[in-house]
Chain A
Amino acid sequence: MSEKTLERPTTDEDALAKEIEAEEKAAARQASLLRDGWADLRKRPMFIVTALVILCLLALAIAPSLFTARSPFSGGFCQLQDSMNGPSSGHLFGFDVQGCDIYTRTVYGTRNSIVVGVVTTIATTLIGGLVGMLAGLIGGWTDALLSRITEVFAGLPLIVGGLLIMSIWGGGDVWSVSLIMAILGWPQVFRIMRGEVIANKYNDYVTAARALGADSWRIAFRHILPNTLAPVIVITTMNLGVYIGAEAALSYLGIGIQYPNISWGVMISDAQDRFLTSPHALLFPAGALSLTVLAFIMLGDVVRDAFDPKMR
């Protein structure tokens, strides 16, 4: 051994002190892309505002009964004599054409919107991510085949595809709408995932991992996957808002969520005929929808700014 090792000061106390310090540092640091992104996020006012709005929406979705004393499902909830009455004390948003309290219906509609958004996002991420990863990793014929199949789904416009699938399967509840949007939406995640995997799989660190004995499984999940996550997270967050908006669009057209399930889209659709005489019936659910979509899309935006290395 050369004198280089001897030069290093390594008394026992030194080593111990170093180790303690090391442990503290390690606990404090753990800096990865995700951690860095998170630290960056917390400092952005836009993130705090959107996060607060989304937290409120989540609370509404989870426990709507905390926010309104009435229930849209109880008998006698709608009184026809109240039909199209404007906002009044006790009924801040007024009544719709059936004489139902719009505030209560809007509150109860939150859950369906959020559930559709979240379920669709999870489903598209799982399907698109998995298939995209397979296509990117295997390449060749598998990739070509999977890409063509994906294009078939990507080629269907949401409305046409929705009409088609709904007319075959029927439905009208949260799950069937989520399913339709997942079927039509996963190609987007597929494309991003496949591109990221291909961009990463020829990197030197993959070759290096292979040269040091890692098997394909480990290379795929331990080495390539973590490097592809950041863009997928970004697109996923933005998509949440987009899917909520799309659900409302489908419901508005009568091919999404249907009565008796509550949906902002259905409420907007019902209110549009009398918009000029009593605009409140349309404006409140539309406002709730806009706020929700905006909150999620803006969250996606700040998340992208925080996580995308090219934006830093």
Chain B
Amino acid sequence: MTIIDPTDAIPAPRDGETTAPLLEVRDLHVEFNTREGVVRAVNGVNYTVESGETLAVLGESGSGKSVTAQAIMGILDMPPARIPQGEIRFRGRDMLAMSEEERRKLRGARIAMIFQDALSSLNPVLSVGFQLGEMFRVHQGASRKEAKAKAVELMDRVKIPAAAARVNDYPHQFSGGMRQRIMIAMALALEPDLIIADEPTTALDVTVQAQVMDLLAELQREYQMGLILITHDLGVVADVADKIAVMYAGRIVETAPVHELYKRPAHPYTRGLLDSIPRLDQKGQDLYAIKGLPPNLLKVPQGCAFNPRCEKAQDICRTDSPPLVPVTERDGTELPGRASACHFWKETIHG
């Protein structure tokens, strides 16, 4: 491309020039100052994403998964939000230490985000072609005409039929699935290294969900992007993700490669989530549900945050908060990528 990319100023080698992971979140804390007190939405989250890898972040509403993503994007409203400690390293550079202008140039160009509700995330009074083209005008200084041509190209890439005819349409003239495709196209426009998808399919109906996920996975493979998929839907995750991090009350309670997690969960919460998926062979039986509600983040229970809802809770769970420890086989062989924050992970995984 002959257009000068203003983000070139940021030392972020595309491939292989550094051994640092694409994205590394270290001990991230996020708090919100509210009238009732300090809400600790994220309490020490760690994860890494490599190029071409998909990390699924799983959790209920209020588990801190979206807040973590917003902290990475730098779109938290501060105040009321605060990041008292932690690091977010993008290709080895701590983004929290960057200037606002540096971060803005990363956004969209290197890290992009797909939002849950595509209708409200698209500006109702601007045509989709204009909004898609804006990516090129903002980041690459493209002319209106160039930008529009590229917008059509992008709409083709995300398989919107008759892209050229619809480039001047407005968001309300598209169906839900098509709008989400446009959001994906916007995120993809500058071929970022990392995409964060915050519940990209929640607002869609089931058949469209599958199409959109397939499209996302396909484009990710093609561009070798890192993908953070935030969801509460275990069904969506299985086919797409490489590894999973399960969040509860602002902490990661279990990490595992995707199929390992489905086979042998090492945390009672994960087990509860898996058991609450409807299954054909349990037709006629009552569907399992985890008792109780997610904790109020203003007063997270003492000890393990999950203990009031946990069927296996013992006294120690009510006093001591379990650290995230590596999970091993019965004989002590390491299981790479697996960790659990449960006092009784051995009993949980090995029965």
B109 adjacent to A213 (CB under 8 Å): yes
A207 adjacent to B159 (CB under 8 Å): no
B138 adjacent to A19 (CB under 8 Å): no
B:57-95 near A, CB below 8 Å = 73, 75
Q: How far is the CA of A70 from the CA of B162 in the complex (A)?
A: 64
Chain B contacts for A89, CB-based, 8 A: none
B:115-163 near A, CB below 8 Å = 115, 117, 120-127, 134-135, 138-139, 159, 161-162
Interface segment out of the listed A24-32, A41-49, A263-271, A283-291: A24-32
Q: How far is the CA of A20 from the CA of B112 in the complex (A)?
A: 33
B167 at the interface (CB under 8 A from A): yes
Chain B contacts for A215, CB-based, 8 A: 104, 138
Chain A contacts for B127, CB-based, 8 A: 32
Chain A contacts for B268, CB-based, 8 A: none
CB-contact partner of A212 in B161, B168, B186, B214, under 8 A? B186
Chain A contacts for B173, CB-based, 8 A: 31
A226 adjacent to B75 (CB under 8 Å): no
Q: How far is the CA of A223 from the CA of B173 in the complex (A)?
A: 19
A21 at the interface (CB under 8 A from B): yes
B115 adjacent to A208 (CB under 8 Å): yes
Chain B contacts for A218, CB-based, 8 A: 134, 138
Known: A21-B165, A222-B134. A31 touches B170 (CB 8 A): yes
Q: How far is the CA of A227 from the CA of B170 in the complex (A)?
A: 13
B75 adjacent to A8 (CB under 8 Å): no
A205 at the interface (CB under 8 A from B): yes
**Interface band, chain A:** 20 to 34
Chain A contacts for B253, CB-based, 8 A: none
Chain B contacts for A33, CB-based, 8 A: 124-125
A:191-224 near B, CB below 8 Å = 203-205, 207-215, 218, 222-223
Known: A204-B120, A213-B104, A213-B107. A226 touches B126 (CB 8 A): yes
Q: Considering only CB atoms, which chain B residue lies closest to A140 in the complex?
A: B79
Chain A contacts for B186, CB-based, 8 A: 208, 212
A22 adjacent to B165 (CB under 8 Å): yes
CB-contact partner of B134 in A2, A30, A210, A214, under 8 A? A214
Known: A18-B162, A204-B117. A211 touches B75 (CB 8 A): yes
Known: A205-B121, A211-B73. A223 touches B222 (CB 8 A): no
B265 at the interface (CB under 8 A from A): no
Chain B contacts for A19, CB-based, 8 A: 164
B122 adjacent to A18 (CB under 8 Å): no
A:33-75 near B, CB below 8 Å = 33
Instruction: Kindly name the residue among B117, B126, B167 whose own CB sees the greatest number of chain A CB atoms within 10 A.
Output: B126
A4 at the interface (CB under 8 A from B): yes
Chain A contacts for B112, CB-based, 8 A: 211-212
A276 at the interface (CB under 8 A from B): no
A1 at the interface (CB under 8 A from B): yes
B167 adjacent to A1 (CB under 8 Å): no
Q: Considering only CB atoms, which chain A residue lies closest to B186 in the complex?
A: A212
Q: Considering only CB atoms, which chain A residue lies closest to B173 in the complex?
A: A31
Known: A18-B164, A211-B107. A227 touches B124 (CB 8 A): yes
- A29 CB → nearest B CB, Å: 6
Known: A8-B161, A19-B164, A26-B168. A208 touches B122 (CB 8 A): yes
A5 at the interface (CB under 8 A from B): yes
Q: How far is the CA of A122 from the CA of B75 in the complex (A)?
A: 36
B165 adjacent to A18 (CB under 8 Å): yes
A1 adjacent to B222 (CB under 8 Å): yes
Q: What 4 pairs between A and B have smallest CB-CB spacing?
A: A213-B108, A22-B165, A212-B108, A204-B120
* 17 examples of A-B residue contacts, CB within 8 angstroms: A18-B162, A18-B164, A22-B162, A22-B164, A22-B165, A22-B166, A26-B167, A33-B125, A204-B117, A204-B120, A208-B183, A211-B113, A212-B138, A213-B138, A214-B138, A223-B126, A227-B123
Residues of A within 8 A of B (CB): 1-2, 4-5, 8, 18-19, 21-22, 25-26, 29-33, 203-205, 207-215, 218, 222-223, 226-227
